[in-house]
Amino acid sequence: MTADLAREAMGKKDYAQAARMFKRCLAERPSLEMFLGYADALAKCGRVWESLDVFAQCAAFAPLSPEKLRGVTTAFLEHLSARAAAAAAADPGRAREAPEPCAFVCGLCDNVLLQPVTLACGHTFCRKCLQREPTKACRRCGHKIAQRLEINVLIRSLVEKFWAEDIAAARLRDEGNQLFGSNQVEAALSKYDAAIAFAPRNYLVLSNRSHALCVIGRCQEALSDADEVVRLRPSWGKGHHRRAMALLSLGRYEESLVAFAVCAALDRNTHAVRLEAAKSLQKILSTSKYCSKSASQRSSLNSRSSLKKYHSRTSPLQPVSWVYVSSFNSNSDCDDNSSGDEDPKQPFYSDRRYTYSSPVPQDSRRLPVLMEKAFQEIESIRWMNKKLTQLTVDSNKVEITDFDCVLCCRTLWQPTTTFCGHSYCSACLDRCLDYNFSCPLCMTSLTEYLLVNQKNITEFLDLALRTALPTVYATRFLLHRQEISEPHMPVFVCTTAFPHVPCPLFIFEPRYRLMVRRCIESGTRQFAMAACLNSYGSAKRYAEYGTILEIKNLVLLNDGCSILSTVGVRRFRILSRGERDGYDTASIANVCDVSIPSNQIEEVRKLLDKTRLKGEQWLKNMSPELQSEILRTFGPIPDLEENWGSLPDGPAWVWWLLAILPLDQRLQVGILATTCIVKRLLAIYKTLELIERNSLVVAQTNEQASVISASVSSSYPLPVSEVCEVSPL
């Protein structure tokens, strides 16, 4: 009954309760099965050393399979990994910083790029490495990996040209892996040998050859290769795994267990090595001097009397004393350095290392020493300089034409790579996509590319240009700065905008897409907005006065169009007109209000209050739907500023009210041009009086509400002569 309760507790993962139940079973009816269950429960509730002692005592009477030791092996490895992680967290300054990864190598295998694929984030990896990546995200930045992985055509040709021997070794390694996968180990070994002839320090080839040698029984050679891998990449867990497998095959079980423990701690993955480590542990326990009993003695374990006799002599249920292991000595067993006053309740995971003083096999006592050795090895790895592959470009192998853009026929600048694997200047590709949504070379649809707000630079190509052709890179940089710098202000010919008032825009024409991109790239994020007054081709197609708009936000649509959130910054006047790449430009001068004489401040303030009151009454008479649309588009009416008299454009609420008044566009431009706040207020006040006198009612349909200025002005245009004559001062 007690045994059933113990098994039930194990099934519920209540290992502490299971250990108590098994302990009671052993007191009542000891058996090998109960001993093994008790040892497994101890391991799973964290009492590793007690569990190992019990397993060691069981191994003295009956052979244990590695499967039975899997639980205690996992606990052993997890304890070491947790201790190493705690040490690293407690003293992070001791660990050496990893060097910056080289953009010329794969960020996953840290080797030369074989079948390079550039992700949307601009980082490049081997195609097979990306296919095997479990997280499906870029290891460098976390960007999601697309399902379609096309080879970067330009990078592939450059890699083959700059690092021909490394590529040859990588291809031979790949061929060897395929042969090994089809159980042609000898043929795979010949491929690995040929690869090492091209790249003697390639740790991946050495690792694979070590595995192949171990499979065919050439374990000493496998160990030599594994040792070289560990020397080249001490922090690479798989190298320690290769070494552990070779040591296990050579019968050096203690060293093998240490190597498995180091591998688990470095990779922080005990499940990958626990079965092999369990084999090492099983061999260590099975070779104990207590296991050299005769067959008759082992068979006597089945009798209850023998178990009771064994239990009374070595049972872990009896009170035991602890022995403190003061230092590690690889050539001796654990020394008894106990002073006799140690706390018997001290947990095993404390800074000190304890083991039983009861007569247990000496190999069990050596396990804490082996763990200490593994821990010290992990600590020494933390002290080492991290080693990553660093490839350099031989300038003698580089030609300027290697980096030509096929669109502009100049050296690539800010190169970007499409999903189909072709690379262009970022600006060149954007201009092409303004007219056609396909790749210029292969005509693959690039609608997904258009959805990406940030077009990331291909890091490999940019670094290759900077390091291999520094003079060409500097010249191309200066040329690019000249191209994006605007000697004149770009002008968006559309409608009238006002200072401090939001102005949402829908950009769909290719010329204005280019203009907006340049505004953002230059860093100004500003352009001029002027009303279109005449047909295209006339000398003065757009108004002489306008407003500078600043881009606050940009939303790209899947067809390449964009929605801009802009706000008026200041007014301007056109001095001269020009054109660039299809859009208008102009030389401008700022327009500011004239200062108000101090003796007129009170009168102007009264006019301000009167005009605002009339404007608020007009707003209240609107339908709720129209009020909601105004609020959504322009926001609430601004409050009066404390320093309104000294502002270059006067109070912001005046422009806010002007933006929603049903005024003719020419009258809007005239009011925008005036530098007298009194004239501006009188124009607004007379407009409101006309609306009130004529009982003009704004249409309440949703279609008219969405475009306030256009709908109202087209339905209720007010002649300039009926409002007031406004002319710029």
Is 447 within the bounds of a domain? yes
Which of these three, 437, 461, 481, is where a domain ends?
481
> SS3 string of 340-372?
CCCCCCCCCCCCCCEEECCCCCHHHHHHHHHHH
C-alpha 170, offset from chain centre: 27
Is 157 within the bounds of a domain? yes
Would you state the pLDDT for residue 56? 79
* 540 lies in the same domain as 512: yes
CATH number at residue 460: 3.30.40
Would you state the pLDDT for residue 150? 93
Would you state the pLDDT for residue 700? 40
Would you state the pLDDT for residue 702? 42
pLDDT band at 180 (very low <50, low <70, confident <90, very high): very high
Would you state the pLDDT for residue 87? 76
Tell me the mean pLDDT in the region 171-193. Answer: 95
Q: Would you say residue 174 has pLDDT above 70?
A: yes
Instruction: Give the tens place of pLDDT for each residue, 109-158.
Output: 889 999 999 999 999 999 999 998 888 899 888 888 888 899 999 999 99
Q: 274: helix, coil or strand? A: helix
Q: What pTM, to 2 d.p., does this model score?
A: 0.69
> SS3 string of 139-189?
CCCCCECCCCCCCCHHHHHHHHHHCHHHHHHHHHHHHHHHHHHCCCHHHHH
* 224 lies in the same domain as 345: no
Q: Would you say residue 687 has pLDDT above 70?
A: yes
* 304 lies in the same domain as 355: yes
* 464: its two tokens: 């290759």
* 269: its two tokens: 């993955």
Q: Report the range of poorest mean pLDDT among 167-171, 290-294, 458-462.
A: 290-294
* 252 lies in the same domain as 181: yes
pLDDT band at 607 (very low <50, low <70, confident <90, very high): very high
* 44: its two tokens: 């799973």
* 557 lies in the same domain as 608: no
Top-confidence residue, 725 or 668: 668
Which of 67-81, 270-284, 427-441 has the highest mean predicted lDDT (pLDDT)?
427-441
Is 103 within the bounds of a domain? no
Would you state the pLDDT for residue 453? 63
* Contact in structure between 145 and 176 (CB atoms under 8 Å): no
CATH number at residue 552: 2.30.130.40
Is 101 within the bounds of a domain? no
- CB proximity list for 108: less than 8 A, separation 6 or greater: 125, 126, 129, 130, 133, 139
Q: 209: helix, coil or strand? A: helix
* 576 lies in the same domain as 678: no
* 61 lies in the same domain as 157: no
* 714 lies in the same domain as 628: yes
Residue 243 CB-density burial (10 A; 0-12 exposed, 13-18 middle, 19+ buried): buried
Is 390 within the bounds of a domain? no
Would you state the pLDDT for residue 657? 94
Please state, in angstroms and rounded to a whole number, the distance separating the CA atoms of residues 521 and 169.
Answer: 42
Residue located via tokens 């925008």: 672
**Beta strands of 273-329 (E only): which ranges?**
322-324
Amino acid (one-letter) located at 718: L
Is 537 within the bounds of a domain? yes
Phi first, then psi: what are they for 160, rounded to 5°? Answer: -65, -30
What residues make up the domain containing 230?
Answer: 116-268
pLDDT band at 288 (very low <50, low <70, confident <90, very high): low
Work out the mean pLDDT of the chain and round it to a whole number: 80
What percent of the chain has pLDDT above 70?
A: 81
Is 509 within the bounds of a domain? yes
Sign of the dihedral defined by the CA atoms of residues 241, 245, 250, 253, in that order: positive
Tell me the mean pLDDT in the region 631-643. Answer: 90
* 153 lies in the same domain as 127: yes
Q: Would you say residue 361 has pLDDT above 60?
A: no
Q: Give the closest residue to 611 by CA, choosing from 679, 673, 663, 676.
A: 679
Would you state the pLDDT for residue 225? 95
Q: Would you say residue 296 has pLDDT above 50?
A: no
Is 273 within the bounds of a domain? no
Buried b (16+ CB within 10 A) or exposed e, 48-69: bbbbbbbbbbbbbbeebebebb
Tell me the mean pLDDT in the region 64-82. Answer: 81
* Contact in structure between 122 and 459 (CB atoms under 8 Å): yes
Please state, in angstroms and rounded to a whole number, the distance separating the CA atoms of residues 279 and 287.
Answer: 12
Phi first, then psi: what are they for 47, rounded to 5°? Answer: -95, 75
Which of these three, 591, 624, 644, is where a domain ends?
591
Which of these three, 563, 591, 619, is where a domain ends?
591
Would you state the pLDDT for residue 317? 35
Q: Would you say residue 450 has pLDDT above 90?
A: no
Enclosing H/E stretch for 723: helix 720-723
* 660-663-665 Cα angle (round to 5): 110
Q: Would you say residue 347 has pLDDT above 80?
A: no
Q: Give the closest residue to 549 by CA, choosing from 592, 505, 605.
A: 505
Enclosing H/E stretch for 225: helix 219-232
Q: Report the range of poorest mean pLDDT among 167-176, 206-215, 220-229, 286-295.
A: 286-295
* 233 lies in the same domain as 122: yes
Instruction: Give the tens place of pLDDT for each residue, 236-271.
Output: 889 999 999 999 999 999 899 889 988 888 887 767
* 570 lies in the same domain as 709: no
pLDDT band at 95 (very low <50, low <70, confident <90, very high): low
Q: Would you say residue 464 has pLDDT above 70?
A: yes
Q: Report the range of poorest mean pLDDT among 3-7, 105-109, 177-181, 473-477.
A: 3-7
pLDDT band at 323 (very low <50, low <70, confident <90, very high): very low
Residue 421: how many other CB atoms lie within 10 Å: 22
Q: What is the largest CA-CA distance in the chain?
A: 124
Domains held by the chain: number: 5
pLDDT band at 385 (very low <50, low <70, confident <90, very high): low
pLDDT band at 226 (very low <50, low <70, confident <90, very high): very high
Q: Would you say residue 340 has pLDDT above 80?
A: no
* Long-range pairs of 135-139 with CB within 8 A, sequence gap ≥ 24: 138/107, 139/107, 139/108
pLDDT band at 447 (very low <50, low <70, confident <90, very high): confident
Q: Would you say residue 711 has pLDDT above 70?
A: no
Tell me the mean pLDDT in the region 276-287. Answer: 84
* 296 lies in the same domain as 247: no
